[in-house]
């Protein structure tokens, strides 16, 4: 049989394109795709619940019913009560809302001597305690308040041994004017789990003494955006007063929510916006029913399947780290997210391949299969400067500069890990001039 003729190269016609190379996404800490069930929930809400949720006709009542069901699903996911959930545009708004509320509450409580709190003197400013590896939606609002002379802030360094904000260091930062301690539940670059339950317990014990001294009660907030969907999160275990939720981190839409313990009764919340009274006046604006429906469905899936998600991601992540060490050698691979005795997220591998020409951005630019990042998406403007999170966590400068943040997802397979490791090998070879 004659050999098949080669494709004819017609100068005037379109060129035949080679099939696209397969891509493997490993940036699930940046964002996640929507689960099919979430897309279905959003679509159905668009068709069936298009009415204004404040209206009494069927489409409005349907919208209100969907919103209430979603609120219940979110509350179940975090072990809270539905009335304590407020829908927001995302994690950034939730974080800013907490900080804004605490500034206002501090001022009002000092002026009114509420709950027996004595004034701290004219000109007293609210004081915040946080740590050096927080998301920008915590760090930047606090820095702005400090620059504007509205508040004082202590940024507690994380331990270079554990990668965590140590409980004693957080407590040592407390001042008479401290109104909020905000420590993330899990870091978005290293995956390190923080000591939030222990911090909450210590603050609660401290509050009983502070009240007796006429000092303001300290509230505790955690940004749980990165942890949700990767491990069980329970507000009773954590003991927090506020908890931030971001849907797009657990296969939901890009909206969010805020948990407030005993909203408006035990824990104060002051709106940043004023309008039609939705969300009990705490977050007015006509509700985005389809996205709320999707968020509720995503939360429902987490409640049902979290243990299975976590186990799968840990197995694939551990396989990834073993394959990297096997292919490149343990001396050449530095696992930036591994700290002895420290728990981390099941899906996160922050790794550096040692070598003077192997800066993370250069390696990713050479990759043809891998889709990943060098760190947090909000730090994408750093150029070749190393991640401040890694430097704060004790990773040496030259190692941190080579960092790749590889985060696996619910559907990532070991076969895809093999493709990624081979892709990285070829990228390194090209950069070192041996390919």
Is the confidence at residue 222, as pLDDT, over 70? yes
The pLDDT mean for the chain works out to 92
Evaluated on CA atoms 144, 146, 149, 153, the torsion sign reads: positive
pLDDT recorded at residue 18: 55
pLDDT recorded at residue 120: 75
pLDDT recorded at residue 122: 72
Instruction: Identify whether the C-beta of residue 274 lies closer than 8 Å to the C-beta of residue 197.
Output: no
Our answer to whether residue 378 is catalytic in this structure is yes
Grade residue 394 by pLDDT with cuts at 50, 70 and 90: very high
pLDDT digits 0-9 by tens, 135-162: 999 999 999 999 999 999 999 999 999 9
Q: What percent of the chain has pLDDT over 90?
A: 84
Instruction: Identify whether the C-beta of residue 337 lies closer than 8 Å to the C-beta of residue 190.
Output: yes
Q: Count of alpha carbons within 13 Å of 128, Cβ hemisphere only?
A: 28
CA 235 → CA 51, 260, 333, distances in Å?
A: 33, 10, 37
**Considering 179, 306, 367, 378, which one is annotated as catalytic?**
378
pLDDT digits 0-9 by tens, 423-435: 999 999 999 986 4
Is the confidence at residue 1, as pLDDT, over 90? no
Return the HEC string of the chain. Answer: CCCCCCCCCCCCCCCCCCCCCCCEECECCCCCCCCHHHHHHHHHHHHHCCCCCCCCCHHHHHHHHHHHHHHHHHHHHHCCCHHHEEEECCHHHHHHHHHHHHHHHHHHHHHHCHHHCCCCCCCCCCEEEEECCCCHHHHHHHHHHHHCCCCEEEEECCCCCCCCCCHHHHHHCCCCCEEEEECCCECCCCCEECCHHHHHHHHHHHHHHHHHCCCCCCEEEEECCCCECCECCCHHHHCCCEEEEEHHHCCCCCCEEEEECCECCCECCCCCCCCCCCHHHCCCCCCCHHHHHHHHHHHHHHHHHHHHHHHHHHHHHHHHHHHHHHHHCCCCEEECCCCCCCCECCCEEEEEECCCCCCHHHHHHHCCCEECECCCHHHCCCCCCCCHHHHHCCCCHHHHCCEEEEECCCCCCHHHHHHHHHHHHHHHHHHCCCC
pLDDT recorded at residue 378: 56
Question: Mean per-residue pLDDT for 90-102?
Answer: 98
Between the ranges 206-210, 273-277, 430-434, where is the mean pLDDT highest? 206-210
Grade residue 116 by pLDDT with cuts at 50, 70 and 90: low
Instruction: Identify whether the C-beta of residue 196 lies closer than 8 Å to the C-beta of residue 162.
Output: no
More confident call, 6 vs 269? 269
Instruction: Give the position of tokens 């899906």.
Output: 347
Evaluated on CA atoms 108, 113, 114, 120, the torsion sign reads: positive
Question: Mean per-residue pLDDT for 44-58?
Answer: 94
pLDDT recorded at residue 381: 56
Is the confidence at residue 6, as pLDDT, over 50? no
Cα–Cα distance between 65 and 44 in angstroms, integer? 13
pLDDT digits 0-9 by tens, 332-382: 999 999 999 999 999 999 999 999 999 999 999 999 999 999 986 655 555
């Amino acid at each position: 049989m004659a050999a098949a003729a080669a494709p004819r190269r017609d100068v005037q016609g379109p060129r035949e394109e080679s099939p696209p190379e397969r891509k493997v996404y490993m940036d699930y800490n940046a964002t996640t795709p929507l689960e099919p069930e979430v897309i279905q929930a959003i679509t159905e809400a668009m068709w069936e619940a298009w009415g204004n949720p404040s209206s009494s006709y069927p489409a409005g009542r349907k919208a209100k019913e969907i919103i209430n069901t979603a609120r219940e699903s979110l509350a179940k996911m975090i072990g809270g009560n539905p009335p304590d959930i407020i829908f927001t545009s995302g994690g950034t708004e939730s974080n800013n809302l907490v900080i804004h509320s605490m500034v206002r509450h501090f001022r009002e409580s000092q002026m009114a001597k509420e709950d027996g709190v004595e004034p701290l003197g004219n000109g007293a400013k609210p004081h915040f305690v946080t740590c050096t590896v927080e998301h920008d939606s915590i760090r930047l609002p606090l820095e702005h308040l400090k620059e504007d002379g509205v508040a004082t802030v202590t940024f507690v360094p994380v331990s270079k041994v554990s990668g965590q904000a140590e409980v004693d260091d957080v407590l040592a930062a407390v001042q008479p004017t401290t109104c909020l301690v905000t420590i993330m539940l899990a870091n978005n670059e290293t995956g390190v789990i923080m000591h939030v339950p222990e911090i909450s317990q210590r603050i609660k014990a401290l509050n009983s003494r502070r009240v007796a001294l006429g000092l303001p009660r300290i509230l505790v907030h955690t940004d749980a955006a990165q942890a949700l969907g990767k491990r069980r999160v329970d507000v009773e275990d954590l003991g927090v007063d506020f908890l931030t939720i971001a849907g797009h981190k657990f296969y939901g839409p890009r909206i969010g929510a805020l948990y407030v313990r005993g909203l408006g009764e035990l824990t104060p919340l002051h709106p940043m916006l004023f309008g039609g009274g939705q969300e009990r006046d705490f977050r007015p604006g006509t509700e985005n029913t389809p996205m709320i429906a999707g968020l509720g469905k995503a939360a429902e899936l987490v409640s049902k399947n979290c243990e299975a998600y976590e186990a799968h991601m840990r197995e694939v992540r551990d396989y990834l780290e073993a394959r990297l060490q096997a292919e490149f050698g343990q001396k050449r691979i530095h696992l930036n997210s591994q700290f002895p005795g420290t728990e981390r997220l099941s899906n996160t591998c922050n790794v550096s391949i040692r070598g003077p020409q192997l800066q993370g951005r250069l390696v990713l630019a050479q990759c043809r299969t891998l889709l990943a990042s060098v760190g947090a998406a909000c730090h994408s403007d750093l150029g070749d400067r190393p991640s401040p999170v890694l430097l704060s966590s004790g990773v040496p400068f030259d190692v941190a500069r080579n960092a790749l943040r590889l985060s696996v997802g619910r559907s990532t397979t070991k076969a895809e890990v093999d493709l990624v490791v081979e892709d990285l090998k070829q990228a390194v070879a090209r950069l070192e001039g041996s390919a």
